Amino acid sequence: MSGARISSISMDSPASSVDLAVGDELVSVNGREPSDIIEYQQLIDGKTVTLVIRREGEDLARQVTIVKSEGQPLGLSIDSAVFDRIRTCDNHCSFCFIYQLPKGMRRSLYVKDDDFRLSFLYGNYTTLTRFTEFDFERVIDEGLSPLYVSIHTTDPELRAEMLRNPRGATSLRWLKELLRAGVEVHAQVVVCPGVNDAEHLERTLHDVISLYPELASVALVPVGVSAFSDEATMRPHTDAEARDVVALAERFQMLTLEILGRVSVFASDEFYLVAGRTPPSAAKFESLDQAENGIGLVAAFVQSFVDETPMDKLGTGFFQSVDGAPALGYRAPRGGESEVHEGDDVLVVTGEYAAPILREMFDAQGFSDVRILAVENRFFGGNIKVAGLLTGQDLIDALANVAPETVVLVPDVCLSEGRFLDGLDLDDLGRSVTIVPTTGKDLRSTLTSVRSRPVHA
């Protein structure tokens, strides 16, 4: 990814009054060549903004000057977050899900980034193995906070082994420096059974308290293992192993509360589900900053469904990003807009993990007549059971025997720009479905709409 082009121009904005067009390439702003959207936003903050742009089909660049109020938005949307080049990841983690993707999928799915700028903009996790002194100074000078860091283990040798990168043994020194400088950091540990769990995980959590007490939160998440993994050491957690992780997390919740005055260690909802336990309620979380990582996501979804609160109002940051950052990757528009059809028979499609949660929630909230279809993820296999990784072909197979008149609700989280992960789109499903934004409030609103007719007993 390189360069920056104008993707849209807001009507009646300062930018709409000058000769700019969608597709124009941004060369410089006020005489500087911004390297990313962060620098671009800083450069356009003043009263006078001079842009040099290059238009397709023209040999010479052109200059335009825009006069506006200080701090007023320019009115341009840029198509990329990083203008020079995304700092790709040079780790080769045995648990990396990108290595578990089959060939032939969209090229963007195979991009591994380890770029602190994307950590700030979108909440992507960085291992800090490519972090430099210059990066550190920029984070501090520009106040790029919060950041999201993958720890995995605090044992230097084991971390280097897991990342398959010798810099993995030393890069956590940057974590200490960031915390010392007052940067808010959320961390994660991808727990791999037989590798960094048990006594290794306990040591990591002890180190979190003693070496990195300023961490805002530490998420323990299970390794995802698809059928395409060829790593001999990677396997899903057993029920007993998941229970051990949950028990360890809960023990350190009490320790961090006692020592630090706040809870900072959390096991993901998925660990609770594998362990056969109900994930914690919203009251158990001081914040939901790691909801996208599965920490309190169930609680936030249920609360949003029950009291119809928008997910972003719950402090989850769910599929949100820094203002001005272009929608990229899983932040891109979901697409697949569809009409809401009324019917007596309503079927909600979801992944295997969410199905029992939805059933309990529907029964408690007066939607017991709504059916739920837990779709098995045959495409990825393994322990991949979340709705966000469902594919078009798996939906086709699951809906094969569902009556055409049934109102089928599909979560938009399994779409990106109108396509499923396997490249299929809604037309390929061969039937009408209703796409629902993946929030509790939107699901309840849609269910209320489709059930406006009397429900037959």
For 258-283, what is each residue's pLDDT tens digit? 999 999 999 999 999 999 999 998 77
Greater pLDDT, 379 or 340 = 379
Same domain, 38 and 137: no
Q: Rounded to an integer, what is the distance from CA 195 to the centroid of its chain? A: 25
Q: Is residue 175 part of a domain?
A: yes
Among residues 428, 353, 441, the alpha carbon closest in space to that of 396 is found at 428
Strand order in the sheet with 147-150: 147-150, 185-191, 217-222, 265-267
- From 264, 286, 314, the end of a domain falls on 314
Q: What was the pLDDT predicted at 336? A: 61
Query: Is the per-residue pLDDT at 323 higher than 60?
Result: no
Where residue 182 falls (left for φ over 0; alpha for ψ -120 to 50; beta otherwise) is: left
Distance CA(247)–CA(270), nearest Å, equals 14
pLDDT digits (tens, 9 = 90+) for 408-435: 999 999 998 889 999 999 999 999 999 9
Given a contact cutoff of 8 angstroms between Cβ atoms, the answer to whether 130 and 56 are in contact is no
Q: What was the pLDDT predicted at 416? A: 85
Task: Tell me the pLDDT band of 457, cut-offs 50, 70 and 90.
Answer: very low
Tokens standing for 149? 């860091």
> Distances from the Cα of 162 to the Cαs of 95, 110, 151, 191, 323, in angstroms?
8, 20, 11, 11, 34
Q: What was the pLDDT predicted at 327? A: 61
Environment class of 250 (CB within 10 Å of its CB; exposed 0-12, middle 13-18, buried 19+): middle
Same domain, 209 and 285: yes
**CATH no. for residue 25?**
2.30.42.10
Among residues 300, 304, 279, the alpha carbon closest in space to that of 288 is found at 300
Given a contact cutoff of 8 angstroms between Cβ atoms, the answer to whether 395 and 379 are in contact is no
Q: Is residue 322 part of a domain?
A: no
3-state secondary structure the chain: CCCCEEEEECCCCHHHHCCCCCCCEEEEECCECCCEHHHHHHHCCCCEEEEEEECCCCCCCEEEEEECCCCCCCCEEECCCECCCCCECCCCCCCCHHHHCCCCCCHHHHCCECCHHHHHHHCCCECCCCCCHHHHHHHHHHCCCCEEEECCCCCHHHHHHHHCCHHHHCCCHHHHHHHHCCCCEEEEEEECCCCCCHHHHHHHHHHHHHHCCCCCEEEEEECCCCCCCCCCCCCCCCHHHHHHHHHHHHHHHHHHHHHHCCCCEEECHHHHHHCCCCCCCHHHCCCCCCHHHCCCHHHHHHHHHHHCCCHHHHCCCCCCCCCCCCCCHHHCCCCCCCCCCCCCCEEEEEECCCHHHHHHHHHHCCCCCCEEEEECCCCCCCCCCCHHHCCHHHHHHHCCCCCCCCEEEEEHHHCECCECCCCCEHHHHCCCCEEECCCHHHHHHHHHHHCCCCCCC
**CATH no. for residue 271?**
3.80.30.10
Same domain, 120 and 230: yes
Same domain, 223 and 349: no
Same domain, 275 and 200: yes
Query: Is the per-residue pLDDT at 101 higher than 90?
Result: no
Same domain, 236 and 289: yes
**CATH no. for residue 360?**
3.40.50
Instruction: Give me the helix-helix angle, 440-450 and 297-307, nearest 10°.
Output: 40
Q: What was the pLDDT predicted at 314? A: 62
- From 15, 46, 78, the end of a domain falls on 78
Task: Tell me the pLDDT band of 454, cut-offs 50, 70 and 90.
Answer: very low
Query: Is the per-residue pLDDT at 455 higher than 70?
Result: no
The β-bridge partners of 220 are 189, 267
Distance CA(271)–CA(119), nearest Å, equals 24
Q: How many residues make up the chain in this entry?
A: 457
Query: Is the per-residue pLDDT at 371 higher than 80?
Result: yes
Q: What was the pLDDT predicted at 289? A: 82
Same domain, 112 and 243: yes
Q: Is residue 319 part of a domain?
A: no
Among residues 416, 265, 387, 244, the alpha carbon closest in space to that of 328 is found at 416
Q: Is residue 328 part of a domain?
A: no
Given a contact cutoff of 8 angstroms between Cβ atoms, the answer to whether 302 and 273 are in contact is no
Buried b (16+ CB within 10 A) or exposed e, 100-129: bbeeeeeeeeeeebbbbbbbbbbbbbbbbb
Distance CA(341)–CA(388), nearest Å, equals 23
Q: Is residue 362 part of a domain?
A: yes
Q: Is residue 88 part of a domain?
A: no
Same domain, 140 and 33: no
Q: Quick one: CA torsion of 177, 181, 184, 185, rounded to 10 degrees?
A: 0
Environment class of 371 (CB within 10 Å of its CB; exposed 0-12, middle 13-18, buried 19+): middle
Same domain, 293 and 385: no
| Mean model confidence pLDDT for the chain | 90
Range of 224's domain?
A: 97-314
Task: Tell me the pLDDT band of 333, cut-offs 50, 70 and 90.
Answer: low
Q: Is residue 272 part of a domain?
A: yes
Distance CA(251)–CA(240), nearest Å, equals 16
Percentage, residues of the chain above pLDDT 70: 91
- The model carries a pTM of 0.90
Same domain, 257 and 404: no
pLDDT digits (tens, 9 = 90+) for 286-322: 777 888 888 999 999 999 999 988 776 665 554 444 5
How many domains are there within the chain? Answer: 3
Tokens standing for 191? 């727990």
Same domain, 194 and 279: yes
Given a contact cutoff of 8 angstroms between Cβ atoms, the answer to whether 245 and 251 are in contact is no
Greater pLDDT, 364 or 85 = 364
Among residues 197, 235, 221, 269, the alpha carbon closest in space to that of 381 is found at 235
Q: Is residue 457 part of a domain?
A: no
Same domain, 18 and 59: yes
Task: Tell me the pLDDT band of 324, cut-offs 50, 70 and 90.
Answer: low
Q: What was the pLDDT predicted at 364? A: 96
Tokens standing for 157? 């040798």
